[in-house]
Amino acid sequence: MGLAGCTSGDADTQANRPERIESIGLMVQDMSNPFFSAMDKGAKQAAERIGATINTQDAQLDLANQNNQIDAFIQQGVDLIIISAVDESGIEPAIVRARQAGIIVIAVDTPAKGADAVVMTDAVQAGEKSCRYLFEQLGGKGNVLIVDGTPIQTIRDRITGCRRMVEEYPGITVAGQQASKNDRASGLAVTTDMLTATPDVQGIFGMNDPSALGAVLAVEQAGLSDRVKVTGVDGSPEAVAELKRKGSPFIGTATQDPAEMVRRGVRIAQDIVAGNPPKESTILIPSELVTRETVTEYPGW
């Protein structure tokens, strides 16, 4: 998957590249999500390791904010932008401007068109692992709900992974699928709606942990804790706590490592500066399954 833009300015872009990474701009989608707080933590670790400054900006899920933030980083003359894009296509013109200014741009968590490279979880694998475990725990049969999310690549990939598992388990029926806004409150709302329409449900897959934990609340409020199981994706601190809570419907999560995404992104940028760009422009980090049985061994974020 080639992400590096082949624009007419690419030759100039290479000539303008910094000789070393001294300043980093990190752009996250939504700092209220612990996933992006962990990303910020990883950025600070990576910046400290190489003696660079770090400036983190929160888009609050707004593409216009990310456009403005990139323009500000261009004005500041940062050497590296690491971005978790709100809109992978909509942000492309701003990324092209940054690269024409000589800034290295690494996308993390989800692709961003025009970036030099992307570092992300193997999201298809994460969806497969979470749903395979859920379906196994249901004995390979039953009605399930899917709590979807915003239409970015990483979320679409998780749903693709889950749907592959549905095909492998003919006894599983998807009784409902609705999109949340990737947070607990909307996960609660859409799951409540789906459970009202289809109360005969045995399992729920939330495409991220906040939405899955919202689904857990909906299950408990509907009095279905004893017969509905829920899984998610992220391996977040909140999911870890929920896996340890006795009697919770939440039984598993497929991990992501947001801090490592950023650390890896900084290393790739250093390689680019040194004249050794990655052979593949998409770098996938494997996902691991964490369950009630294995949660005490999981190092977490």
Other Cβ atoms within 10 Å of 160 Cβ, number: 13
Tokens of 97: 């401007």
Other Cβ atoms within 10 Å of 51 Cβ, number: 9
pLDDT band at 9 (very low <50, low <70, confident <90, very high): very low
Q: Looking at residue 93, what is its pLDDT? A: 98
Kindly state the average pLDDT of the residues 273-278.
94
Q: Check if the beta carbon of residue 137 is closer than 8 Å to that of residue 167.
A: no
- Give me the residues paired with residue 28 across strands: 58
Greater confidence, 277 or 152?
277
5 pLDDT higher than 60 = no
Instruction: State the Cα angle at 118 between 178 and 24, rounded to 5°.
Output: 110
pLDDT band at 33 (very low <50, low <70, confident <90, very high): confident
pLDDT digits (tens, 9 = 90+) for 38-94: 999 999 999 999 999 999 999 999 999 999 999 999 999 999 999 999 999 999 999
pLDDT digits (tens, 9 = 90+) for 179-201: 999 999 999 999 999 999 999 99
Which residues, 6+ apart, have CB-to-CB distance to 3 below 8 Å?
A: 107, 111, 112, 113, 114, 115, 116, 117, 118, 281, 282
Q: Helix, strand or coil for residue 94?
A: helix
Kindly state the average pLDDT of the residues 129-141.
98
Kindly state the average pLDDT of the residues 6-35.
77
Q: Check if the beta carbon of residue 130 is closer than 8 Å to that of residue 164.
A: no
Mean pLDDT of the chain: 94
Q: What are phi and psi of 2, to 5 degrees?
A: -85, 115
Q: What are phi and psi of 245, to 5 degrees?
A: -80, 120
Q: Looking at residue 226, what is its pLDDT? A: 95
DSSP letters spanning 34-73 = HHHHHHHHHHHHHHHHHT-EEEEEE-TT-HHHHHHHHHHH
Could you say which DSSP state residue 248 is in?
Answer: -
Cα(38)–Cα(35) distance, rounded to whole angstroms?
Answer: 5
**Edge-first strand listing for the sheet containing 289-291:** 171-179, 141-148, 203-206, 229-234, 250-255, 289-291
Q: Looking at residue 153, what is its pLDDT? A: 87
Q: Check if the beta carbon of residue 124 is closer than 8 Å to that of residue 99.
A: no
Could you say which DSSP state residue 195 is in?
Answer: H
Kindly state the average pLDDT of the residues 163-189.
97
Which residues, 6+ apart, have CB-to-CB distance to 300 below 8 Å?
A: 235, 237, 240
Cβ contacts of 270-278, under 8 Å, gap ≥ 24: 270/20, 270/21, 270/50, 272/17, 272/104, 272/116, 272/117, 273/17, 273/18, 273/19, 273/20, 273/21, 273/104, 277/116, 277/117, 278/117
Percent of the chain residues topping a pLDDT of 70: 95
pLDDT band at 15 (very low <50, low <70, confident <90, very high): low
The candidate with the shortest Cα–Cα distance to 227, out of 206, 255, 247, is: 247
Percent of the chain residues topping a pLDDT of 90: 90
Could you give the domains of the chain? 10-119+257-284 (3.40.50.2300), 123-256+291-297 (3.40.50.2300)
pLDDT digits (tens, 9 = 90+) for 199-230: 999 999 999 999 999 999 999 999 999 999 99
7 pLDDT higher than 60 = no
pLDDT band at 8 (very low <50, low <70, confident <90, very high): very low
Q: Looking at residue 14, what is its pLDDT? A: 59
Strand duo 53-58 + 23-28: pairing: parallel
Kindly state the average pLDDT of the residues 268-279.
95
Could you say which DSSP state residue 162 is in?
Answer: H
